[in-house]
Structure 1
């Protein structure tokens, strides 16, 4: 495993896992969740199980850390648009190491859980961000597949969340600012017809309600799996003894990278 810094802050880094050879390999980008707050990290969050599983499966795994909001009180550590810009910078940094690390940037899948599902889906959709936005980039890394697990994919429906105040904290601003920031950071308003999206969500999720998917229509590049009886973390080993959903996720990810 190698560590790469994409910025000067201690939280602006990624872990790269890849085979010990010079074969060009596809890339899996993993974004952890935790309500965009600093109470979790890439080493503590459930998505580390995805990283561990695929670390020796013959692909490159890019495990992203980013600056996150204060868990308590006002958000001084990651004011708008810090977290989103960090994830975008971390993903685009792959261009810098494409040749030295033998990466196939034509074959990229990004996956995230909960708030990480928001960031993953948003990052795959950056091409459609308003050009006047501070989040706009004229040449974002192209992502082929985006997978959201229990994701916060519709920020306008903050009432679906167990902690709706975190959306307000993430966007932080006056009414006019929040309106424009929603437009530029809400995945469902940015979906790219050239990206393949897959949304997986448990019907019994009380932390991020499955109603987050109510405005999405399944079509040729959008697939939706509503998983009966599953809650927010039922997808990961250690949170359930039923590994069918975990197997579904690993099979899905593997299928996108072959």
Structure 2
């Protein structure tokens, strides 16, 4: 099992992450991967959802930084989540480097579901100390407006603490779809049988990002659902590893 180090990136109990180091020595050429778990932005779900994938990344030779963040019912809503993902990314240039001699030029971000929303949104932040080199969204929630779901989404209302009718500007500002172009290669993966997050979320994002000039790609995985990304035996899992680690980029 890869080494695990707990690092706090803030004072709140939910502001921490686990750093997973590969067995082999690391240096400035070793990629660092920020893992952002999903779970409807809810405090009912935690960073343990990302643990298996983080360990798989470390076994493959990457440094994995699996973060927790303040969530609805666990210390935060949208303003706090913005702050937390930014801080967790920037800590790569601080505490993470104190534990492993990695560089900051190849920091990749992967997020599942609500974590995919946070990962791609983070790519639109241009003033962070660390800038991601690639982003992988696994069934990401990439547009928060009700039209993107075909209905009002209670989890989004809880996240933003507002109804769309009362603050459409807030919904737009929190939607990755409204931030393109972000200038970072982005890979969207989605199971064709996903009923939690419509495949159209990824389709529409990639179409808009490409139209804006971004390098954005989409893979729809036949026959797999929203939770396949948490299953090491799934095609979604294998494709996610390939996307994060850059395997098959030459194809």
Confirm or deny a common fold (TM above 0.5).
yes
Matched, 1:141 2:153: no
Q: Give deviations 1:24-52, integer Å, cap 9, x for gaps.
A: 32101100000000111111x2x322112
Matches within 5 A, 1:47-86: 47-70=50-73, 77-86=75-84
Using a 3 Å threshold, how does the CA distance of structure 1 residues 91 and 16 change in structure 2: closer, same or farther? same
Once the two structures are TM-superposed, the CA of residue 214 in structure 1 deviates from its matched residue by: 4.2
Query: Which whole-Å CA distance do the structure 1 matches of 2:220 and 2:188 have between them?
Result: 8
Query: Is the aligned partner of 1:221 residue 2:224?
Result: no
Question: Separation in 1 of the partners of 2:20 and 2:247?
Answer: 18
Q: Secondary structure at the match of 1:201?
A: strand
Structure with greater helix share of residues: 2
Moved more, 115-124 or 52-61: 52-61
Q: For the structure 1 residues 157 and 163, does the alpha-carbon distance in structure 2 shift closer, same or farther, using more than 3 Å as the test?
A: closer
Q: Structure 1 68/121 Cα, relative in aligned 2: closer, same or farther at 3 Å?
A: same
The whole-number CA distance in structure 2 between the counterparts of 1:82 and 1:64 is 14
Which residue does the alignment assign to 1:254? 245
1:159 Cα offset (Å):
5.9
The aligned runs of 1:37-186 (5 Å cut-off) are 37-43=42-48, 45=49, 47-70=50-73, 77-97=75-95, 99-100=97-98, 101-127=100-126, 138-157=127-146, 160=149, 164-173=153-162, 178-186=167-175
CA contact (8 A) 1:28 1:108 kept: yes
Q: Name the CA shift for 1:49/1:140 in 2 (closer, same or farther; >3 Å).
A: same
Shift of 1:91: 1.1
The count of aligned residue pairs is 238
Q: Does 1:34 align with 2:39?
A: yes
Q: Which residue of 1 aligns with 2:21?
A: 18
**2:167 is paired with a residue of what secondary structure?**
helix
Can you give the 5+ residue segments of structure 2 that lack an aligned partner in the other structure?
none
Residue 140 to residue 163, structure 1, CA distance change in 2 (3 Å): farther
SS of residue matched to 1:4? strand
CA–CA separation in structure 1 for the residues paired with 2:58 and 2:116: 20
- Among candidates 200, 224, 229, match of residue 230 of structure 1: 224
d(CA) in 2 for partners of 1:163, 1:256: 38
SS in 2 for 1:126: coil
Q: CA deviation at 1:194?
A: 2.1
Gap change, CA 1:175 and 1:121, over 3 Å in 2: closer
Q: What secondary structure does 1:251 align onto? A: helix
TM-score (normalizing by structure 2): 0.84
Q: Answer yes or no: is the 8 Å Cα contact 1:109–1:256 preserved in 2.
A: no
1:130 alignment counterpart: none
